[in-house]
Structure 1
Amino acid sequence: MGKGRRSSVGSDSLFSIEARVPDVDTYLLLREKAGMRARTIQGATKGLGSELFSVILRVSESGEAVGMGRVVGDGGTVFHICDMAVDEKWQGKGGGTMIM
């Protein structure tokens, strides 16, 4: 997906969204920090890159990745939102809404 596009809501937004597939390390770390079930490196490597769309939630000030979301499906009639994750430290601040 290259560098990815970034956007934020308002000039003083706490978060920015980057349209990009997370790398394996970021994916696994965000799942852990969000309290989600662990995945294997092999599973993450196989699955990442096959989604239809993916975003990374970043803290605007530091650029730290604190959330993600992915859409998988058949590209025609079935679309599934998955891997919705926000670091527990950052939950309740509107990041999940931005991802959606």
Structure 2
Amino acid sequence: MGFSKNGLYNLTGNKAENITKVKIETGKGIGSLAEDKDGNIWFVADQHFLYTYNGEKIIEHKKTKNNKSPVVFKIFKDSDNRLWFVGFGGAYRLENGRFVNVTKNGPW
């Protein structure tokens, strides 16, 4: 897996296939990338939209009334293999498919 301003690429042998070609705006590219414990690739594209690639398809994660998330600038993985999403709106951690807002008081 590789990325550039033109998208996310699946590298196989000597061939690089742009798997985001029809999903993201060319030139704004991938800003941050992390792999979760299940092997899914989480990435930020077009400056703040959040996506997951599971090896077959790309899924855009949108805010919902019951599952709020930040406007993501950066994704981190901690030593416990948990994903953290930081951006406008603060820091969030992904737990059981939901985004949990983490403030200075936790939950840690």
Q: Which has the larger share of strand?
A: 2
TM-score normalized with structure 2 length: 0.27
TM-score normalized with structure 1 length: 0.28
**Structure of greater relative contact order (alpha carbons < 8 Å, 6+ residues apart):** 1
